[in-house]
Amino acid sequence: MRTLALLPLLPLLGCAASRGHTPVPAGQVAWTASLGGPVVEYFDGLKPLPLSALGGAYGVDGRTTVHGAILPTGLALFGVLGLEGGASHLLWEGESSRLMADGSLWVFAGPHNGAASIDYDPAPGGLRVFPEGQLLWARDLGPHTVYAGASLFVQPWPDPTALPAPLLGAEVRLGRLGLQPELSWVEAWKDNEPYSPQFLGVSGHGALSLRLGLTLHPGGGR
């Protein structure tokens, strides 16, 4: 049975719930956390990988938001430092809906570059950078938000690969706290049957990724 390099392994540690569905108000800060990832069969059952991200977002002018995060799972399990930084921008806004674009860079540094495959065949250490873009349509339902769109993760190393993923999610607001379940489908065209570990896909294709994000919004609402 072939092994899968987990696209590779550590960029999946960068999987975080989308920050770019709603701009942060100008001059204010929102704090974010995310847990989850691709649904894989391990420990006798299918469950999301417990991949985490902790960060924050700053509203530049009410239309543009800059954001960043640290990825604790990779540091704790593999000794690999993972960081993310990027920005989102409001492209169009209607009465209760909007179109947002987001761009991020995922940076990994450590002894194995995040390139160890599931059979633990390590690659040389160093620094690796992976870009990601998103386009999201969002609609407000009272204080809550639903959104849908797509992401494109670019893996320039070891083999140049672009990994598109349609996604959908929602943010349920409980005062300043936002709870954000999100589902994406990575490489929907690829047959995942030959690989180990077994990823949960749709009709044996791709990898479904399930995440839960938490956001502590600034006071005063949107």
Query: What does the pLDDT look like over 31-57, one tens digit per residue?
Result: 999 999 888 887 788 888 888 999 999
Residue 10 burial (C-beta neighbours within 10 Å; 0-12, 13-18, 19+): buried
The full 3-state SS of the chain, as one line of letters, equals CEECCCCCHHHHHCCCCCCCCCCCCECCEEEEEEEEEEEEECCCCEEECCCEEEEEEEECCCCEEEEEEECHHHHHHHCCEEEEEEEEEEEEECCCEEEEEEEEEEEEEECCCCCCCCCCCCCCCEEEEEEEEEEEEEEEECCEEEEEEEEEEEECCCCCEEEEEEEEEEEEEECCEEEEEEEEEEEEEEECCCEECCECCECCEEEEEEEEEEEECCCCCC
Residue-averaged pLDDT of the chain:
84
Query: What does the pLDDT look like over 5-32, one tens digit per residue?
Result: 333 444 454 468 898 999 999 999 999 9
Terminal-residue alpha carbon distance, the chain: 51
pLDDT at position 174 over 90: yes
Range with the poorest average pLDDT among 94-98, 108-112, 116-120, 147-151: 116-120
Q: What is the pLDDT of residue 152?
A: 92
For the entire predicted model, the pTM comes to 0.86
Does domain 2-215 correspond to CATH entry 1.10.443? no
